[in-house]
Structures are given as C-alpha cells and as structure tokens.
Amino acid sequence: MPPQGAPEQSRAADSVGIVTPGDSRDAGDTWRPTPIQHLFDQSDRARLKELLPSVPGWWVDIGAGWGRLLPAYFDPKRNIALIDQNLTALETVARFYPHSNVHLILADAYRLPFRGDAFDAGLSVRTFQQIDTPELLLQEITRVLRPQATFVLNYTNKKSLLRIVRYGLDSFRSEHQAVSDNLFCTHPRYLEELLRRSGLTPLRSRSCGLAEQVIKAGGYLDRLLAKAPFLVPPLALGDRVASHSLGRLGLLPNVFAALRKEGTAPPAAAEPRPGLADVLACPHCRKFPLNTLETGYACSDCDRRFPCQGRILDFRLA
C-alpha cells in the first residue's frame, strides 16, 4: 500500500507533534492523498474515534501498515506497538513517527512477541480481510489483551447490502469466505461464534464504506472524482448519512466492531509504567522476560535472537 497522507491527518498530527506523510514540514514529501483516499481515511478514523476507549497504557495495532490510522489514537501518554509483517511499511512509520512511545515490531500476527495480558487496548484495521485462519488471530489477540481491555476489529462484511444484491442467498452463509487470493470477507454471525470461543465479547459495531464500495465497483468514478473534486464533499455527506442509517443496521461493507476481553480486570498497577522489555516475550516459546542485548533481544529458552534494525525490532521466526 503506498503511503498517502491527508490534509486532515496533518492537522490532527500537528496537535500532537507528529509528522506524517503529506505534511508540508517533510522536505521529501511527494505523497498527496487523492480526495477519495482522504474520504476513506476520514471515514475509518471517525469509526475508530467512536469505538476506541480513552485509556492510557499499552496499545497494539495489528497489521498497522505505514501507520495511516495512528493520528486517530496517538497519545503521548500511551505506549503504542505497531505490528506488521511488511518491513517497508514499518520503515515508513519510522520515518514519519520519531516518537519514543511508538514501537515498531516486525512480526507475524499469529505469533505476537508479547507476554499475556500485556495490552490495555488495541485495534486491527483492514487486516482481518487478509487473514486465512481467523480463529488463530483471535486467540492471539485474546492472549495479549488484559481482561476487560477493548479491541476494535475491522472486517469486510459478507452480509452487506451490496453483496446481498450481487450474490443473493450466498451472502447469508455464515463463513469467512475467500473472495480472491489473500482476500476474505466474513459473515457477522460467523465472527460472533469465533469471538465467543476466543473469550471476546462484542460490545457494539458500526459499518461504513458505502461510497468506497461504489467507487471501487465503477473504476471510472475514481477518475471522475479526481478530475472533479467538488463532487467529493456531497459524496462524503452521503457516506456519513449512510453510515448513520444503514451502517447502524450492519448493512455496509466495512465493519468496525468493539470487543472486550472477558475476565476480571486486574487492580490498577502500583508499579511504574511497564517499558517495552516488560511486555515482550519470545514468539516461539512464549518465554519472558527476554534478555536485552546491544543489538536487540534474545530468548534464554530457545536461544532465538531478535535483532533491532534502526527502530524496527525483528521478531519474525525463520
């Protein structure tokens, strides 16, 4: 995914001192969001702001990409772990987010390099659609969250109005369905069953993305809107109205679901705020704490080493 910033992203970023792609303070800035990309970003961030909690502590963004959504939840009082398997994406984050509370972790979402109960909140956006074994990912999310922590999971809705019109009864079959290579859509009922088995309780959800789907369906619309950007505000308004009507009925293509890990919340910690070394664990054998080396971390059980490249910690398993 090429990095694209947004004017709104830059303004949000200014308030917390973040330099993002698209920010004019970046001399090497060549990225400009198209009006459509700006619209998608705004819609995703609005849903996140509705559903994410306001807690400090440790946060995790699974499949964070180049950090497109960081402005929606960045806070200097939070420690934020961005996880992705794509080195180039994390290098982009490193370039635009120099903040010491933003931690960049190259890892597989199925084998997160964290101890259990490490995170106070988290999110995963536009990544579940690339996950072929969703139950494994949900187990891993549950493991690393503290009891009562909130996690916002975004997925592609198999039962959206557009899919019902296009695919009829097939849209009602409860499954995580491959729609193309490495791309899946999920029936909400199927997800609920997986969540129940994983120990995650659905709190509330919002669906959105009507304009995005319509634009993607007719490729020429994207080109038309790029040439006639004055059409974008009415489209954005229509999209917002749809999100607040059809979206609440769960009929739009892009679902954001707020989930809560079951269990009793631990008492507020008296010890100082945990640092990175306190939350890391070996992704292979789960051992913690890891030994801190000059060049990264090492596991004393399985002898694996996890090097640090610049600000990026490499926890991939060979």
Ligand X SMILES: C[S@@+](CC[C@H](N)C(=O)[O-])C[C@H]1O[C@@H](n2cnc3c(N)ncnc32)[C@H](O)[C@@H]1O
Q: For binding to ligand X (CB under 6 A), which residues are involved?
A: 1, 63-65, 68-69, 83-86, 89, 108-110, 125-127, 130
Output the smallest distance, CB 41 to ligand X, in A.
8
- Beta carbon nearer to ligand X, 42 or 86: 86
Output the smallest distance, CB 111 to ligand X, in A.
9
| DSSP character string of 97-122 | ---TTEEEEE--TTS-SB-TT-EEEE
- Beta carbon nearer to ligand X, 21 or 172: 21
- Beta carbon nearer to ligand X, 85 or 148: 85
| DSSP character string of 32-96 | ---HHHHHHHHHHHHHHHHHS----EEEEEET-TTTTTHHHH--TTEEEEEEES-HHHHHHHHHH
- Beta carbon nearer to ligand X, 64 or 210: 64
- Beta carbon nearer to ligand X, 70 or 251: 70
- Beta carbon nearer to ligand X, 62 or 251: 62
DSSP bridge pairs for 106: 84, 314
Please give the Cα distance from 181 to 158 (Å, whole number).
16
Output the smallest distance, CB 106 to ligand X, in A.
9
Output the smallest distance, CB 86 to ligand X, in A.
4
Structural element, H or E, at residue 254: strand 254-261
- Beta carbon nearer to ligand X, 118 or 125: 125
Residue owning tokens 């129940």: 196
Output the smallest distance, CB 279 to ligand X, in A.
17
Alpha-carbon distances of 299 from 60, 81, 303, 309, rounded to whole Å: 22, 20, 5, 18
Nearest to 192 by CA among 215, 176, 209, 214: 176
Output the smallest distance, CB 154 to ligand X, in A.
7
Output the smallest distance, CB 304 to ligand X, in A.
18
Output the smallest distance, CB 309 to ligand X, in A.
17
Amino acid letter, residue 48: L
- Beta carbon nearer to ligand X, 63 or 209: 63
Q: Which two tokens stand for residue 197?
A: 């088995």
Q: Maximum distance among all alpha carbons in the chain? A: 60
- In this structure, the dihedral spanned by the alpha carbons of residues 3, 313, 155 and 180, taken in order and rounded to 10 degrees, is 70
Nearest to 317 by CA among 286, 294, 289: 286
